[in-house]
């Protein structure tokens, strides 16, 4: 490995715990360690931390504190909503429910939908996206059926950073519900969105929203689920009466406190978003200027400020990842949850890439600790790495591709 400073550009996978967040959590490990369900003073101290965190999350999402359920993360929240609403025949008068999920959802959403389908519990429509990775309102409206109970479209994609038209989806569902006896509920996975986008649930029109602490410089293993008051809910975790009897299990008090503190930091990040966006654009421009046969996956404009997902003709993504790692630079070939899979990314296939193009792709995701010098180092190293990998693969014929231009069959 190079002796230079290590550079972390995989913030979409996870983020380091912010020092201020860690300090907020610290007392709840050893000093205020009580079980929040206990009525003695130790329990009361723990409960006070949870109450504050619930208020912090609710204020950020623009909802009531009673509409926040703490979970172990976005995976649990997504499973709870998809399986709970999607299998609830009471909502459809005994008829099999129909749910719509976008084709680029996180594996925990797609897996939950597949579970319902395989067990004959629900009809599933996998909503296609366009070549930029965006769900189209017209396609969604055409997919609605009389027995549709749930639409689940993530706010922003974890692989290509595509920002979905969440408000337009919420507005469409609200309009459709005016003339329906069977209400449609709207769920959005906002795990990647919280750092960068307006997550006010009223403005979006969401009935359910999932977030995760470790994507916003908080601890791993904790998240929150927004459930609009009056919406149907089936608890996934049975046992005690925690979380308004909606999610059993002893509270992860330090983690919950950390989530609240992390949300507070997001509220106060100021110019950080613009700084990250400028660094991302610097990376994109640098790559395009220096490396022929390169292309950006997903929308150029409707993408998260920290995301740049490239494909490089004649280069295998895993080889590029390893080569960068040997230089002390951490990136990803897609979702961290599927990092060990040899299958092509379902997200990249959904936007029209073929298997070869998918396997030639790599994701850079920037964060608060990213420096301009980090971007400059990556841009300076990439041409030699790409050249070496292409010479090994032999897929680029004599280096004849013009810089910034791709063969007709390489683009999507």
Residues 283 and 257 in one domain: no
404 belongs to a structural domain: no
- Edge to edge, the sheet with strand 361-365 lists 294-296, 307-312, 361-365
Residues 195 and 165 in one domain: yes
Least confident stretch, 253-267, 370-384, 393-407? 393-407
User: 237 and 77 in contact (C-beta within 8 Å)?
Assistant: no
Residues 80 and 206 in one domain: yes
Residues 169 and 297 in one domain: no
- The token duo for 275 is 């700084």
Our count of domains for the chain comes to 2
β-partners of residue 151 are 100, 186
Question: What pLDDT is recorded for position 341?
Answer: 53
Catalytic residue among 108, 199, 337, 412: 337
Residues 237 and 319 in one domain: no
Residues 345 and 213 in one domain: no
Question: What pLDDT is recorded for position 394?
Answer: 61
Helix (H) or strand (E) holding 189: strand 185-189
206 belongs to a structural domain: yes
Distance CA 249, CA 232 (A): 21
The fraction of the chain above a pLDDT of 70, given in percent, is 92
Domain that holds residue 227: 19-267
- The token duo for 227 is 């459930």
pLDDT higher than threshold 80 for residue 402? no
Q: Which of the listed residues 267, 288, 309 is the one where a domain comes to its end?
A: 267
The per-residue pLDDT for range 152-173, each reduced to its tens digit, is 999 999 999 999 999 999 999 9
Nearest to 73 by CA among 165, 182, 190: 190
Residues 215 and 112 in one domain: yes
How many CB atoms neighbour CB 388 within 10 A?
Answer: 13
Residues 300 and 236 in one domain: no
Residues 248 and 345 in one domain: no
Residues 113 and 82 in one domain: yes
1 belongs to a structural domain: no
70 belongs to a structural domain: yes
Residue-averaged pLDDT of the chain: 92
Residues 126 and 37 in one domain: yes
The per-residue pLDDT for range 352-361, each reduced to its tens digit, is 999 999 999 9
Distances (CA, A) of 110 to 189, 236, 259, 286: 12, 17, 26, 35
The per-residue pLDDT for range 275-299, each reduced to its tens digit, is 999 999 999 999 999 999 999 999 9
398 belongs to a structural domain: no
Residues 314 and 379 in one domain: yes
401 belongs to a structural domain: no
Distance CA 198, CA 156 (A): 11
Q: Counting every residue, how long is the chain?
A: 412
Establish whether 337 is a catalytic residue. yes
The per-residue pLDDT for range 215-242, each reduced to its tens digit, is 999 999 999 999 999 999 998 888 888 9
Distance of CA 308 to the CA centre of its chain: 14
């Amino acid at each position: 490995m190079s002796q230079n400073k290590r550079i972390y550009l995989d913030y979409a996978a996870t983020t380091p715990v912010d020092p201020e967040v860690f300090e907020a959590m610290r007392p709840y490990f050893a000093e205020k360690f009580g079980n929040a369900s206990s009525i003695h003073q130790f329990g009361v101290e723990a409960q006070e931390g949870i109450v504050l965190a619930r208020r912090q999350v609710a204020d950020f999402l623009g909802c009531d504190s009673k509409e926040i359920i703490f979970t172990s993360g976005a995976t649990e929240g997504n499973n709870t909503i998809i399986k709970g609403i999607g299998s609830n025949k009471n909502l459809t008068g005994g008829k099999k429910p129909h749910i719509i999920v976008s084709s680029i959802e996180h594996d925990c959403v797609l897996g939950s939908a597949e579970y319902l389908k395989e067990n004959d519990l629900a009809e599933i429509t996998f909503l296609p996206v366009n070549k930029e990775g965006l769900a189209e309102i017209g396609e969604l409206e055409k997919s609605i059926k009389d027995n549709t109970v749930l639409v689940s479209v993530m706010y922003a994609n974890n692989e290509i950073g595509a920002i979905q038209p969440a408000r337009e989806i919420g507005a469409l569902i609200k309009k459709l519900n005016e003339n329906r006896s069977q209400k449609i509920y709207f769920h959005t996975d906002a795990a990647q969105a919280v750092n960068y986008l307006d997550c006010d649930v009223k403005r979006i029109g969401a009935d359910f929203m999932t977030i995760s602490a470790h994507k916003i410089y908080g601890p791993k293993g904790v998240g929150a689920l927004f459930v609009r008051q009056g919406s149907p809910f089936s608890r996934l975790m049975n046992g005690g009466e925690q979380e308004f009897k909606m999610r059993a299990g002893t509270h992860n008090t330090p983690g919950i406190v950390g989530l609240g503190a992390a949300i507070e930091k997001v509220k106060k990040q100021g110019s950080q978003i613009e700084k990250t966006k400028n660094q991302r654009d610097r990376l994109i421009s640098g790559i395009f200027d220096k490396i022929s046969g390169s292309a950006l996956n997903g929308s150029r404009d409707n993408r998260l400020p920290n995301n740049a997902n490239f494909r490089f003709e004649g280069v295998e993504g895993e080889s590029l990842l390893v080569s960068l790692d040997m230089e002390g630079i951490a990136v990803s070939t897609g979702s961290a949850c599927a990092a060990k899979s040899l299958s092509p990314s379902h997200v990249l296939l959904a936007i029209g890439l073929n298997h070869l193009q998918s396997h030639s792709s790599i994701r850079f995701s920037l964060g608060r600790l990213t420096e301009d010098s980090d971007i400059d180092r990556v841009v300076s190293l990439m041409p030699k790495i790409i050249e070496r990998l292409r010479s090994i693969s032999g897929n680029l014929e004599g280096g004849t591709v013009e810089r910034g231009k791709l063969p007709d069959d390489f683009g999507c």
